[in-house]
């Protein structure tokens, strides 16, 4: 069944076209990802669908049975509420019905033969059960837990929560409302890696229809079955996932480019014919025929392909293999350790991604590296050749009272005006942008300005905290390319899995007060995660693997049997994880607990088998 149909949509601002000829449709259980560079109208399109922006042309047809949920801060009704009060408000009708049932129970206890009361109670109870009235509190607790809230947070007033935490509260409420069309604008912003991956799994099994705007490539790849790209004042619609979109876009571009080139050759040929033969009386009629043909030709415009306008390039110095930073048994924190036993060596051209949940200590560790703060024990030593440049998560080093131009001029007074304008132009700042006050910049513009400043010095170590925050895919791609070509060392914090996989040579993962260090990118870390955690005796879900005697080398048959057992358990875990997201399971405490317990048991078995396999090869 079709949920939404958009035909030839147009939007203007102050007489200038933002986009036109936008057409697409989505059906039940589709997931449409809207992508494109910042400032091209993605959020505006969402607001037009919601009826919050006027339509300047075209038509939007929405199914009459569609209930829309849209992620926004306004979902929160009252910041004086406690966390639990605010989320519980989603089920206010069920709470009121529960009170009525309790009242009826009390009345029946005093008048047990009153058939009218009994009938009313029975009718209301059946309706309450059909609406899953006995499970809504479990749903609340489950959803709050999955978004990283703890028992001690339940009675905190929302006014004490950060903006990011309030966004997560709004998300919880929205998912609990279960609309049949869920619209999400940058849903992974403010979420940590664990929550992003859980949300991804949850939305895969979501029973409704999804429209999402995102720059998170993996998130789109795993969820979307349709892509709408808005760019250059128009749109292109693709019926497939992100990988399909990339191939199809290139194919469409090449087809159009071939048609354009062939037509240009034909036009040039006609013009030459006209120019040569028109002055000759014998051929003038034939020349005029060519003129008519040229006049009535439907001109093919040269196809547009989003390109990387940013000219990023971090040079750095080649210190391949040279020890640059050594971290030995470091514990960081405030009054007590937040993360203990951090140990690794950063060598020339290493690129280390620091990952983990929010609050696990990633930014605190960067402050320990950069500012010698929060180190409780251990040592951090630097090579005398270290030249470290950094971007902090909130770009606090920028002066909000200055313009973009003034910020560069203040930091680098030796640069001429033209050099400043030229440099900012490499980062997509035009003259009007250069005159903007920094306090009025968007998140993406602030990050681009921070990168522009960083590029003006030749560092051999870069330390970046969430460098892809607020950047669109084109800018992320340019940054990825630049950092891959960087000859120095890189330490960066990121929740962007694609970005990490493209760049990282090592992963430093923080969880439950411990640091895990592994050579490889994030995908490789995920493959080895259970083994790493199981090898730690103190990890609460792991068996005492260190106490197991190393296995003797096994023959090929034994190894093959181990591989088969590992594969079988991996399949069982995957099936159970899929089961855990079915409504009949996650809404039942008992069923959910049974599945979670079984998954933990299988993961423990898997860790032992993988360790045995590794020690046998």
For 223-236, what is each residue's pLDDT tens digit?
Answer: 999 999 998 888 99
Give me the pLDDT at residue 317, please.
66
The answer on pLDDT for 381 being more than 90 is yes
pLDDT per position as a tens digit, 399-417:
999 999 999 999 999 999 9
Q: Which two tokens stand for residue 364?
A: 């605190």
- Per-residue pLDDT, 103: 93
Q: What is the mean pLDDT of residues 57-70?
A: 91
Q: What is the pLDDT of residues 528-572, one digit of tens each?
A: 887 777 656 443 433 333 333 333 444 566 677 777 788 888 888
DSSP string spanning 337-385? EEEEEEEEEEEBT-EEEEEESTTSSHHHHHHHHHH--SEEEEEEEE-TT
CA 54, CA 138: separation in Å to the nearest integer? Answer: 41
Q: Is the pLDDT of residue 22 over 90?
A: yes
**pLDDT higher than threshold 80 for residue 144:** yes
Distances in Å between the alpha carbon of 86 and those of 75, 145, 170? Answer: 10, 15, 9
Weakest-pLDDT range from 24-28, 223-227, 609-613 = 609-613
Tell me how long the chain is: 617
DSSP state, 7? E
Q: 348 phi and psi, to 5 degrees?
A: -50, 130
pLDDT of residue 55: 94
Per-residue pLDDT tens digits for 240-250? 999 999 899 98
For residue 109, pLDDT over 60 is answered with yes
C-beta neighbour count of 503 within 10 angstroms: 22
Q: Phi-psi region for residue 520, left (φ > 0), alpha (ψ -120 to 50) or beta? A: left
345: its two tokens = 């060596």
Percent of all residues in the chain with a pLDDT value above 90, rounded to a whole number: 41
List the alpha helices (DSSP H) in 540-588: 556-580, 583-586
Angle between helices 115-130 and 92-110 in degrees, nearest 10: 150
Mean residue pLDDT across the chain: 85
Which residues contact residue 560 at a Cβ distance below 8 angstroms, ignoring those fewer than 6 apart? none
Q: Which of 317-321, 363-367, 445-449, 578-582 has the highest mean pLDDT?
A: 363-367
CB contact at 8 A, 44 and 56 = no
Take residue 510 and report the two structure tokens written for it. 């923080």
Contact 69, 183 (CB under 8 A): yes
Name the pLDDT band for 574 (thresholds 50, 70, 90): confident
Determine phi and psi for 162, rounding to 5 degrees. Answer: -75, 170
pLDDT of residue 44: 92
pTM as predicted: 0.73
pLDDT (0 to 100) of residue 611 = 64
Confidence bin at 335 (pLDDT 50/70/90):
confident
Model pLDDT for residues 433-470, shown as the tens digit of each residue: 899 999 888 878 888 898 889 888 888 899 999 888 88
Q: b/e for 568-596, b at 16 or more Cβ within 10 A?
A: ebbeebeebeebbbeeebbbbeeebeebe
pLDDT (0 to 100) of residue 309: 55
Q: pLDDT band for position 339 (50/70/90)? A: very high
Whether the per-residue pLDDT at 577 is higher than 60: the answer is yes
CA distances from 30 to 4, 204, 240, 554, 599 (A): 10, 10, 11, 49, 29
Q: Would you place residue 307 in the very low, low, confident or very high pLDDT band (cuts 50, 70, 90)?
A: low
């Amino acid at each position: 069944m079709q949920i939404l149909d958009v035909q030839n949509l147009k939007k203007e601002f102050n007489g200038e076209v933002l986009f036109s000829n936008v057409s697409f449709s989505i059906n039940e259980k589709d997931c449409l990802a809207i992508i494109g560079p910042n400032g091209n109208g993605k959020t505006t399109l969402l607001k037009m669908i919601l009826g919050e922006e006027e339509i300047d042309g075209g038509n939007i047809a929405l199914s009459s049975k569609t209930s829309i949920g849209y992620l926004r801060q306004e979902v929160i009704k009252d910041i004086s509420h406690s966390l639990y009060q605010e989320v519980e408000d989603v089920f206010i009708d069920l709470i009121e019905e529960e009170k009525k049932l309790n009242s009826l129970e009390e009345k029946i206890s005093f008048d047990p033969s009153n058939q009218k009361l009994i009938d009313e109670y029975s009718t209301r109870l059946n309706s309450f059960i059909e609406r899953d009235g006995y499970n809504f509190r479990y749903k609340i607790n489950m959803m709050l837990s999955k978004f990283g809230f703890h028992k001690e947070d339940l009675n905190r007033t929302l006014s004490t929560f950060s903006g990011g935490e309030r966004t997560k509260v709004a998300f919880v409420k929205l998912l609990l409302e279960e609309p049949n069309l869920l619209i999400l604008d940058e849903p992974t912003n403010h979420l940590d890696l664990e929550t992003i991956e859980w949300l991804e799994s949850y939305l895969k099994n979501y029973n409704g229809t999804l429209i999402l705007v995102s720059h998170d490539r993996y998130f789109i790849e795993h969820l979307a079955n349709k892509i709408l790209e808005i760019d250059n004042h128009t749109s292109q619609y693709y019926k497939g996932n992100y990988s399909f979109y990339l191939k199809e876009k290139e194919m469409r571009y090449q087809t159009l480019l071939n048609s354009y080139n062939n037509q240009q050759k034909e036009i040039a040929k006609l013009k030459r014919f006209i120019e040569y033969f028109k002055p000759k009386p014998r051929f003038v009629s034939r020349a005029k025929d060519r003129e008519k043909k040229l006049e009535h030709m439907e001109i093919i415009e040269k196809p547009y392909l989003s390109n990387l306008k940013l000219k990023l390039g971090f040079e750095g110095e080649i210190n391949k293999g040279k020890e640059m930073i050594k971290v030995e048994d470091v514990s960081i924190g405030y009054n007590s350790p937040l993360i203990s036993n951090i140990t690794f060596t950063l060598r020339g051209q290493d690129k280390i991604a620091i990952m983990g949940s929010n609050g696990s200590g990633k930014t605190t560790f960067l402050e320990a590296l950069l500012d010698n703060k929060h180190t409780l024990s251990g040592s951090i030593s630097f090579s005398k050749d270290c030249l470290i440049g950094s971007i902090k998560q909130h770009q606090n080093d920028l002066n909000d009272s200055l313009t973009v131009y003034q910020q560069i001029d203040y930091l680098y007074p030796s640069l001429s005006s033209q050099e400043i304008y030229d440099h900012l132009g490499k980062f997509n700042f035009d003259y009007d942008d250069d005159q903007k006050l920094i306090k009025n910049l968007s998140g993406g513009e602030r990050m681009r300005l921070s990168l522009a400043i960083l590029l003006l010095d030749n560092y051999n170590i870069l330390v970046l905290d969430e460098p892809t925050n607020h950047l669109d895919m084109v800018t992320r791609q340019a940054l990825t390319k630049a950092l891959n070509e960087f000859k120095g060392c890189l330490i960066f914090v990121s929740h962007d899995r694609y970005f990490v996989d493209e760049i990282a040579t090592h992963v430093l993962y923080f969880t439950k007060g411990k640091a895990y260090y592994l050579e490889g990118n994030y995908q490789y870390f995920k493959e080895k995660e259970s083994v790493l955690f199981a090898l730690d005796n103190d990890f609460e879900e792991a068996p005492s693997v260190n106490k197991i005697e190393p296995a003797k080398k096994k023959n090929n048959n034994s190894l093959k049997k181990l591989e088969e057992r590992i594969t079988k358990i991996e399949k069982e875990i995957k099936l159970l994880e899929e089961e855990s997201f079915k409504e009949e399971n996650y809404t039942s405490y008992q069923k959910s607990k049974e599945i979670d317990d079984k998954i933990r048991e299988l993961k423990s078995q898997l860790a032992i088998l993988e360790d045995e396999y590794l020690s046998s090869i």
